[in-house]
A and B are shown apart, each in its own frame.
Chain A
Amino acid sequence: MGSMATRSAVIVGAGQAGARTAAALRKQGWQDRILLLGDEPDPPYERPPLSKDVLAGSTSPENGRIYGPEWYADNAIELRTSARVETLEIGARRIVSGGGSAENFDILVLATGCRARTVDCPGTGLEGVLSLRTARDARRLEHLLGSGGDVVLVGGGFIGLEVAASAVARGCRVTVLETQTQLLERAVSSHVADHLARRHRHRGVDIRLGARVVAFEGRIGRLRAVRLADGSCLPADVAVVGVGGIPNVELAQAAGLSCDTAGVGGILTDSHCRVADDVYAVGDCARFDDAWLGRPVRLESWENAELAPQAAAKAILGAPEGYGGVPWFWTDQYDLNLQLLGLKQPVERVLVRCDPESGSFLTLGLSEGRIAMAALFNAGRERRPLKQLIELRAIVDPRALADPDTPLKRLAKEAAANGKPD
């Protein structure tokens, strides 16, 4: 091929990670074609508001759009919505969409995201039983919550708790069912979970731990009740199933790309988001070799959807840098903004900095003298220095950490000046 030939970067999946990949490629100097394909009818939008402001009725999913229509034109990004990709032909360097139309690619980026996991029991097809993943789901749920009534959240994870808070704000009676013995079992310590449980109970939410759903029961196709394994039955007008996500790896798998089939799933990449020659994966669907953690991880987070595309674009444009860092998550429930740094892991001790009664405080999990994970309750200001301390794997005096009069900023500066201890 001549040097004048236009190359094509094709991005499969038009969620946050897909859109940000298009933007990163353009910004970092990709001059050729960029085709962004999404199977949802909506142009790329951010999902975090769906369970919060959208359900509260204070905003619409449209406000969460990542870019306005003119941005795609200005940056020569070809966006196709409601476009489902059926097959990836890696050897032939092309993809085939529904309807049989094909597109050639020189670079392929998979940003296929996750879909909501469902529960395996009778009645999931009843009207009033739904998951929350897409803007369409959010619009439907917002409409259902508008009439008040009994709302049951199946799953005490981020989605369940955020929807619970939003439903309470809409005047609903709310129950949260969690099969584990604590809320957010995979993400936070029991200390943090207990604090959240108290907040919800204070707002009148009925939180039931160790509770398993065995059936959704209805009449004339509409949900009326949720039956639990202990035989009890809860009245329900709406049930939201929030029991985690399943990465969409089927396309990649069928194309012979390497995927994790044993653990949390995901398309396997190196620390440059590379799956194979000219093929990359970013966002929720990718299990990447995290350069900071030093092991593969799959993260369903806003931050990962934001940053992995930057790393992929760098690698595509020939300037690869190892991708990874201290994982960061946040959730908003009622008047609480909770931010989490680091993945859940066993710790030797837990420190609390500042008085929890004040509403703004931190809990820090320590291992071998280092901060392993941190939970920031209405304390986003402290994220940066804490993240630095964790990133440096700095050994910190626990008394200084627990002392609100010792600025974390100072500790972080000292640690950075001392270099990385080992």
Chain B
Amino acid sequence: MPWCKIGTKSDLSDGEVMGVEVEGVPLAVYNVDGEFFATHNICTHAFALLSDGYVEDGKIECPLHQGIFDIRTGKAESGPVEDDVRTFTVRIEGDDLLVEI
């Protein structure tokens, strides 16, 4: 399982999310209070990119149907979502953000 660089810390300010693709896997990368997390970028309910969604209090709300996931655990919390979204571990090396795919 290789670690891949997905960007740098300065790419993402607090409370923001961005979409990246690594090894063909679409990821949403988050900055929550200075900590970095990553989930699969596609909502488990319907085709929508979580990176287009809204971040608040450690949760991501899907832009399409208001499904809400916990960013740290991927747990489906409310709205129409039943299935959790997959999470990926983020490692920081210097200024670089890496995920294990």
In this complex, what residue of B is CB-closest to A64? B46
Task: Assess whether B80 is interfacial by the CB under 8 Å rule.
Answer: yes
One of A53, A330, A380 near B52 (C-beta < 8 A)? A380
Task: Assess whether B101 is interfacial by the CB under 8 Å rule.
Answer: no
Task: Assess whether A72 is interfacial by the CB under 8 Å rule.
Answer: no
Further 8 A-B residue pairs, CB within 8 A, beyond A380-B52, A380-B53, A380-B64: A49-B46, A306-B80, A330-B64, A380-B54, A381-B53, A381-B63, A384-B61, A409-B15
CB neighbours (8 Å) of A303 from chain B are 66
Inter-chain CA distance A327–B23, complex, in Å, is: 40
B64–A384 touching, CB < 8 Å: no
Task: Assess whether A383 is interfacial by the CB under 8 Å rule.
Answer: yes
B52–A381 touching, CB < 8 Å: yes
| 9 CB < 8 A contacts A-B | A303-B66, A306-B79, A380-B53, A380-B63, A380-B64, A381-B63, A383-B63, A384-B56, A409-B15
- A153 CB to nearest B CB, Å: 24
In this complex, what residue of A is CB-closest to B79? A306
Q: Mark A372-394, 1 if CB is under 8 A from B, else 0.
A: 00000000111111000000000
One of B54, B65, B79 near A381 (C-beta < 8 A)? B54
Inter-chain CA distance A330–B62, complex, in Å, is: 13
Task: Assess whether A28 is interfacial by the CB under 8 Å rule.
Answer: no
Number of interface residues of B (CB under 8 A): 15
- Identify which of residues 212-233 in chain A touch chain B, using a CB-to-CB cut-off of 8 Å: none
A302–B65 touching, CB < 8 Å: yes
- B65 CB to nearest A CB, Å: 7
- Identify which of residues 3-57 in chain B touch chain A, using a CB-to-CB cut-off of 8 Å: 15, 46-48, 52-54, 56
B65–A383 touching, CB < 8 Å: no
Inter-chain CA distance A49–B61, complex, in Å, is: 20
Task: Give chain B's interface secondary structure class.
Answer: loop
Q: Mark A131-160, 1 if CB is under 8 A from B, else 0.
A: 000000000000000000000000000000
- B64 CB to nearest A CB, Å: 6
Inter-chain CA distance A303–B66, complex, in Å, is: 9
* Closest CB pairs A-B (n = 8): A380-B63, A384-B54, A381-B54, A381-B52, A381-B63, A380-B52, A384-B61, A381-B53
Task: Assess whether A190 is interfacial by the CB under 8 Å rule.
Answer: no
CB neighbours (8 Å) of A382 from chain B are 54
Inter-chain CA distance A306–B64, complex, in Å, is: 14
CB neighbours (8 Å) of B47 from chain A are 53
Inter-chain CA distance A280–B56, complex, in Å, is: 35
- B69 CB to nearest A CB, Å: 14
CB neighbours (8 Å) of B61 from chain A are 384
Task: Assess whether A337 is interfacial by the CB under 8 Å rule.
Answer: yes
Inter-chain CA distance A381–B64, complex, in Å, is: 9
Inter-chain CA distance A409–B52, complex, in Å, is: 15
A337–B56 touching, CB < 8 Å: no
CB neighbours (8 Å) of A385 from chain B are 54
- Identify which of residues 24-80 in chain A touch chain B, using a CB-to-CB cut-off of 8 Å: 49, 53
Inter-chain CA distance A384–B15, complex, in Å, is: 14
In this complex, what residue of B is CB-closest to A302? B65
B53–A337 touching, CB < 8 Å: no
A337–B64 touching, CB < 8 Å: yes
- A407 CB to nearest B CB, Å: 10
CB neighbours (8 Å) of A383 from chain B are 54, 63, 66
Inter-chain CA distance A409–B80, complex, in Å, is: 24
Inter-chain CA distance A382–B63, complex, in Å, is: 8
- A47 CB to nearest B CB, Å: 13
Q: Mark A280-313, 1 if CB is under 8 A from B, else 0.
A: 0000000000000000000000110010000000
Count chain B CB atoms within 10 A of each CB in A53, A306, A380, A383 and give the residue with the most: A380
Inter-chain CA distance A384–B61, complex, in Å, is: 9
In this complex, what residue of B is CB-closest to A306? B80
Q: Mark A82-113, 1 if CB is under 8 A from B, else 0.
A: 00000000000000000000000000000000
